[in-house]
Amino acid sequence: MDLITVEHNPSPMKLDAMQMDSWPVASKEPGTFQCTYKTKEVCYLLSGEALVTPDGGEPVSIKARDLVNFAKGLSCTWEVRATVKRHYLVD
């Protein structure tokens, strides 16, 4: 099972079907922080760029127009390289 999956440039139809526009929005300034996901999370990056590295795993690059799934239980380090603004939905 992948802890982080990324879909680059999902279709507007897919985002509409997911009702992404109704999800909350969050922003994070450049910097590094640890994160542990207690639930599954899906996010769609509106802007920005980050490198997310699972504990003991390979880094995953995410950027604007990426739809990203984070698995429940994932512990990782975020390195925000350009301010990230994202819609997100927790399961």
pLDDT at 54 over 70: yes
**Residue 57 carries which DSSP code?**
S
Residue 2 pLDDT class (50, 70, 90 cuts): confident
Pairing of strands 41-54, 31-36: unpaired
How many C-beta atoms surround the C-beta of residue 1 within 10 A?
Answer: 4
pLDDT by residue (tens digit) across 6-42?
Answer: 999 999 999 999 999 999 999 999 999 999 999 999 9
Q: CA–CA separation, 79 vs 91, rounded Å? A: 24
Rounded to an integer, the average pLDDT of 69-88 is: 97
pLDDT at 87: 98
Q: What is the CA radius of gyration of the chain?
A: 12
Q: Are 43 and 37 in contact (CB under 8 A)?
A: no
Residue 66 pairs in a beta bridge with 8
Q: Set out the domains of the chain in order of their start, with CATH numbers.
A: 4-90 (2.60.120.10)
Cβ of 20: how many Cβ atoms within 10 Å?
19
- Banded pLDDT at 91 (limits 50, 70, 90): confident
pLDDT band at 1 (very low <50, low <70, confident <90, very high): low
Residue 43: which H helix or E strand, with range? strand 41-54
